[in-house]
Structure 1
């Protein structure tokens, strides 16, 4: 993975997790061949994608965090934001033959960075124009502090490999701290959507969910990620809760929710190289705990399919 500037190095989801991992375990990862990873994604019908592109001259702006920017996926076009030329926004723009395309996605972004600078990176909403016709928004994970959650879960998983110590730490005295964070993020997502429509009233807006990080059936893979066995299904459930919130916010604005989770089931971080779409550590394919090129291809296909409805 090429050198990165300080903002990206600090904000990448893997950074703190990997530092904790070095102390507590040696993560063994196998590099997947990019061609094999790409072959595992199911492409949508070419004629349907072409039909979507023929409907209008597409002026596309992509907004979002590292799950949208594609950190570590060759080729990186912006190391500060971990932006790849093979991320799902770039794939969508190419498939639709967009007459203009601005990729404003940036690793570490949360809802506040839609309207405020992210260090030296301008507010993402500044990329919008009155004639923008398509916007994708993939945001919310950093509002929950996914880095902190995963780091804590790894440390607790080393101390107590069975049960769900991480879940317990976030649900003391009957509270649901992560659920509360998801609920408190919803108004921020709603505000971002409202401002997108204010700035680009002609735009069709797609709210993009997050792909499956851990197995959907709740099974553990402690040899790959040393969480406690009971914390694998708990994190899965919190991710589904986040996606449900995003879907609800899209529905309330009459925008479109893109389900990136369902197509990615069976391609989580626990699967071997060539099958997984989420990398368990930094590899030649992507930054750790982020989608690789095949994962972005799947998300792009899910988004493109919504444009033909």
Structure 2
């Protein structure tokens, strides 16, 4: 009986190893060359460990593309995401700090590329940059109101929303170029995770006026909708990270935040950017969409 049990145990262990190896091989066979394109919400500035190719791109070895690549066991992984990139940097070189240059991101694509993720758009027309440079300084004058929303509204028109409508065709053009360079690739547009909570405020972390929290959420929803619409018009998939990041905004407590607040931490994350846990969370959403 003991010999029989031993043989069964050995056979079961062998089957487990074979199954696990086969699953990894299957994933590797499915995606041979994965290319990650995007801005700082993809690259992960200050999240350890930072890469040096170039350093100014703030490209982390723990960003969501790296986690996705490891999870899928892809044959070859190329990450050309770069902090500060907008859609023009997909086809043009990008100058970055420390005298570096990031080559046009689309150059990384090949005919045999079979998986592409694209996370970009927030830097076009300085949408995110204008918000984080303007809104916090307006809070003091009207902490309970919506001074930032009023600041960006001209003659009843929300100029940020207007700018977002012009981002969609840029994303569509980028996706057309991706499909042309890598016609057999599965292409995913990855949206932006939630920065502000659905309700409540945390001005010490996210120093927007109380009334501007709801507006910030609308800006993000509009931007993500533009990305989703562009994807749907371009034979690409869309990965919603705004919904899944509910409860993981910058105000979340107990280590559950996916987004850093106003205080830059050169050993963890840039201000108003994803932390390592946020990258892991986004990666999990991307992997779920692929599986």
Q: State TM-score, norm by structure 2.
A: 0.86
| Stretches (4+) displaced over 3 A | 49-52
Question: Conserved in 2, the CA contact under 8 Å of 1:215 and 1:270?
Answer: yes
Please state how far the C-alpha of 1:275 moved relative to its aligned partner: 1.6
Query: Are residue 59 (structure 1) and residue 33 (structure 2) matched?
Result: yes
More off after superposition, 117-126 vs 133-142: 117-126
Query: Are residue 75 (structure 1) and residue 49 (structure 2) matched?
Result: yes
Q: What's the secondary structure of 2:121's corresponding residue?
A: coil
CA–CA distance in structure 1, aligned partners of residues 215 and 26 of structure 2: 38
Question: Conserved in 1, the CA contact under 8 Å of 2:31 and 2:115?
Answer: no
Query: Are residue 185 (structure 1) and residue 159 (structure 2) matched?
Result: no
Q: What's the secondary structure of 2:57's corresponding residue?
A: coil
Root mean square deviation, CA, Å = 1.8
Deviations 1:206-228 (A, max 9, x none): 000000011023x2211222211
Mark the CA change 1:50 to 1:215 in structure 2 (over 3 Å): closer, same or farther.
farther
Aligned counterpart, 2:86:
110
Question: Conserved in 2, the CA contact under 8 Å of 1:58 and 1:96?
Answer: no
Question: Conserved in 2, the CA contact under 8 Å of 1:158 and 1:227?
Answer: no
Instruction: Work out which of the residue numbers 120, 123, 126 in structure 1 matches 2:104.
Output: 123
Instruction: Work out which of the residue numbers 160, 163, 184 in structure 1 matches 2:145.
Output: 163
Query: Are residue 244 (structure 1) and residue 218 (structure 2) matched?
Result: no
Question: Conserved in 2, the CA contact under 8 Å of 1:158 and 1:226?
Answer: no
Please state how far the C-alpha of 1:52 moved relative to its aligned partner: 7.0
More off after superposition, 131-140 vs 163-172: 163-172
More off after superposition, 279-288 vs 151-160: 279-288
Mark the CA change 1:125 to 1:261 in structure 2 (over 3 Å): closer, same or farther.
same
Structure 1 residues 20-59: aligned runs within 5 Å? 53=27, 56-59=30-33
Aligned counterpart, 1:232:
213
Instruction: Work out which of the residue numbers 83, 86, 94 in structure 1 matches 2:62.
Output: 86
Higher RCO (CA 8 Å, separation ≥ 6 residues): 1
Please state how far the C-alpha of 1:273 moved relative to its aligned partner: 5.2
Query: Are residue 291 (structure 1) and residue 271 (structure 2) matched?
Result: no
Aligned counterpart, 1:267:
248
Mark the CA change 1:98 to 1:55 in structure 2 (over 3 Å): closer, same or farther.
closer
CA–CA distance in structure 2, aligned partners of residues 242 and 215 of structure 1: 17
CA–CA distance in structure 1, aligned partners of residues 226 and 102 of structure 2: 27
Deviations 1:154-191 (A, max 9, x none): 11112221210110111121111011110111111100
**Which protein is bigger by CA-based radius of gyration?**
2
Aligned counterpart, 2:289:
306
Aligned counterpart, 1:42:
none
For structure 1, the 5+ residue unaligned runs are 1-45
Please state how far the C-alpha of 1:260 moved relative to its aligned partner: 1.1
In the alignment of these two chains, the number of paired residues is 261
Aligned counterpart, 2:12:
none
CA–CA distance in structure 1, aligned partners of residues 198 and 38 of structure 2: 24
Query: Are residue 209 (structure 1) and residue 209 (structure 2) matched?
Result: no
Please state how far the C-alpha of 1:50 moved relative to its aligned partner: 5.3
Mark the CA change 1:50 to 1:242 in structure 2 (over 3 Å): closer, same or farther.
farther
Q: What's the secondary structure of 2:214's corresponding residue?
A: helix
